[in-house]
C-alpha cells in the first residue's frame, strides 16, 4: 500500500487560493482515477478537483469552507502497490502552521501603538517616535516636565525620563495600563430570516455565487458614475450573410455561427480605434490596457451570471472568434470554466437580445469602464434612401446600449465608440469570405 497526496491544482496565474465548498467523497470511500473528490470555488468560478489515482480516501486535511492555497495537500489517498508519493510532513502540518501564524499575528495586532493625537499638548514627531519605540504611554508623556520653549518636551527630556524609568526597581515602575477592548459577553450571531406574512411565500437563501454577484453589482453602482448612450443599427446585411453561410460554416469549421462573434469582432475593432475605452481605474490613476480582452456575459443554467474572457480578441479572425465564443459559452453552461477564463477582461459585452430584450442598461464590470448590451434583432419598417428617392422597406435592426463610467469617459468618447461599433456592423460586406 502507498499513499498519494491530492493537492489543490493550479487554476491560473492569477489564482492563488480556493474555498472548499463540498466534499464529494468521505473518508473510507473508494475513488476511481479522474473521479471528482471535492468541489472548490474561487471568487467567480466553481469547479471540481479530480483524483489523479485510484484508491481509498483515508484523510481529509481541510473541512468545508476552509481556504486552501494552490499546491497545498488537501487529502490523502491510499493506493494499492506502486511507488506513490508519500505525504510530506510540511504539507500535512501546513494547516496547523497557518493557524499558529494567524494566532501570532492576531496577538501582535492586539497591542496597538500609542496614539498621541488625543493629547492637548504638543509633541514633536521625534519625541512621539521615541515614545512609541520605548513604549511610553500618553499619560507618561504628558507627565514629563519639558525644558523646551513654552514647556515643550525635548529629545533630552524624554531620553532622561526613559533612562530614569529603566533604573527604577521593577515594583516601583509606573506602568501605564494598556487599553483593553470593552469586555462583552459573546453572543452567537443570528441572521434575521424574513418571515412570510401569509404563510404561503417560500423563503430561499441566496447561493454563494448569487451573493458574490449581488456584492459586485452594488459595488459597481457605488463606484462608477453610470451613464448610457443608445444607437439603432441596421444589421440586414449581417442577417443575410449569416443565413447564407451558416450551414457551410458549420460543416467546414465544426462550429455553429451565431451573431455574437460578428458583434465581438466589431467591438474589438472599435476598441482599437478608441483605446480610451480599453482602460481601468485605480483610485486617481487610469490604467491603459495593452491587450484587448473581451468579456462576454453568459447566463448559467441555475440563473446566475458569469463573464468568461476572450483574450487578445483583436487578433482573432471571425473563425477564431466563433470558436472562442462557442468554447467559453459551452464550458460556462457545463460548469467547466477555469478561474483564469474569467480573469483579465478589459471590456464586456452582454447579449440581452437573447431573452427578447430590445435594449438594456447594463452595470459595468469593475474595474472596467464600459459595457455594451446587444439588443434583439427585429424586422422593422424603415425609410430607405436611394438615388431614385426614399421608400419604406423592411429592415433587420437592433439597439446597442452602451453604459460607461462618467468619471473617466465623457459623452463624446462614449457616444463615438458605440457609433463606431454601429458603423462597422452596418458596413458589413455581404459578400465577404469567412
- Which residues are known catalytic residues? 406, 410
Q: CA 371 → CA 229, 332, 418, distances in Å?
A: 11, 20, 10
Measured distance CA(368)–CA(349) in Å, rounded: 12
Let me know: does 339 contact 14? Beta carbons within 8 Å.
Answer: yes
Backbone angles phi, psi at 282, to 5 degrees: -135, 95
Annotate 9-19 with b (16+ C-beta within 10 A) or e (fewer).
eebbeebeebb
C-alpha 200: how far from chain center: 37
Instruction: State the number of CA atoms in the 13 A half-sphere of 421 facing the CB.
Output: 28
| Look-up of cell digits 483610485 | 283
Is the CB of residue 336 less than 8 Å from the CB of residue 283?
Answer: no
Cβ atoms 20, 65 nearer than 8 A:
yes
Q: Are strands 30-31 and 309-310 parallel, antiparallel or unpaired?
A: unpaired
Three-state secondary-structure class, residue 62 = coil
Distance spanning both ends of the chain, measured CA to CA:
57
CA 291 from centre of chain? 18
Amino acid at each position: 500500500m502507498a499513499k498519494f497526496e491530492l493537492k489543490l491544482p493550479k487554476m491560473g496565474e492569477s489564482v492563488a487560493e480556493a474555498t472548499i465548498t463540498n466534499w464529494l467523497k468521505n473518508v473510507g470511500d473508494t475513488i476511481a482515477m479522474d473521479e471528482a473528490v471535492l468541489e472548490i470555488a474561487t471568487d467567480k468560478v466553481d469547479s471540481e478537483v479530480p483524483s489523479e489515482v485510484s484508491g481509498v480516501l483515508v484523510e481529509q486535511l481541510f473541512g468545508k469552507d476552509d481556504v486552501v492555497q494552490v499546491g497545498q495537500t488537501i487529502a490523502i489517498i491510499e493506493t494499492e502497490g506502486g511507488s506513490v508519493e508519500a505525504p510530506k510532513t510540511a504539507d500535512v502540518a501546513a494547516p496547523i502552521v497557518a493557524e499558529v501564524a494567524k494566532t501570532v499575528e492576531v496577538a501582535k495586532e492586539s497591542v496597538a501603538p500609542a496614539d498621541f493625537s488625543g493629547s492637548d499638548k504638543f509633541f514633536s514627531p521625534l519625541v512621539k517616535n521615541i515614545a512609541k519605540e520605548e513604549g511610553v504611554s500618553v499619560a507618561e508623556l504628558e507627565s514629563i516636565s519639558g525644558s523646551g520653549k513654552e514647556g515643550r518636551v525635548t529629545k533630552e527630556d524624554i531620553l532622561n525620563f526613559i533612562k530614569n524609568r529603566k533604573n527604577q526597581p521593577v515594583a516601583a515602575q509606573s506602568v501605564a495600563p494598556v487599553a483593553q477592548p470593552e469586555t462583552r459577553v459573546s453572543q452567537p450571531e443570528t441572521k434575521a430570516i424574513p418571515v412570510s406574512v401569509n404563510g404561503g411565500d417560500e423563503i430561499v437563501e441566496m447561493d454563494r455565487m448569487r451573493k458574490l454577484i449581488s456584492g459586485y453589482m452594488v459595488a459597481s453602482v457605488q463606484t462608477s458614475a453610470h451613464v448610457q448612450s443608445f444607437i439603432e443599427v441596421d444589421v440586414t446585411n449581417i442577417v443575410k450573410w449569416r443565413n447564407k453561410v451558416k450551414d457551410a460554416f458549420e460543416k467546414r469549421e465544426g462550429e455553429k455561427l451565431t451573431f455574437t462573434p460578428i458583434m465581438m469582432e466589431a467591438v474589438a475593432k472599435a476598441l482599437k480605434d478608441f483605446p480610451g475605452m480599453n482602460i481601468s481605474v485605480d483610485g486617481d490613476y487610469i490604467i491603459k490596457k495593452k491587450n484587448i480582452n473581451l468579456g462576454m456575459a453568459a447566463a448559467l443554467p441555475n440563473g446566475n451570471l458569469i463573464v468568461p474572457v476572450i483574450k487578445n480578441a483583436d487578433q482573432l479572425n471571425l473563425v477564431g472568434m466563433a470558436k472562442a465564443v462557442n468554447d467559453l459559452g459551452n464550458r460556462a453552461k457545463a460548469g467547466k470554466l477555469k478561474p483564469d477564463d474569467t480573469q483579465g477582461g478589459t471590456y464586456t459585452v452582454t447579449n440581452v437580445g437573447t431573452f427578447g430584450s430590445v435594449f438594456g442598461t447594463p452595470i459595468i464590470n469593475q474595474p472596467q469602464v464600459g459595457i455594451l448590451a446587444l439588443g434583439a434583432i427585429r424586422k422593422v419598417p424603415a425609410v430607405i434612401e436611394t438615388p431614385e428617392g426614399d421608400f419604406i422597406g423592411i429592415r433587420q435592426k437592433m439597439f446597442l446600449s452602451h453604459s460607461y463610467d462618467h468619471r473617466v469617459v465623457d459623452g463624446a468618447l462614449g457616444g463615438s465608440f458605440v457609433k463606431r461599433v454601429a458603423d462597422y456592423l452596418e458596413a458589413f460586406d455581404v459578400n465577404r469570405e469567412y
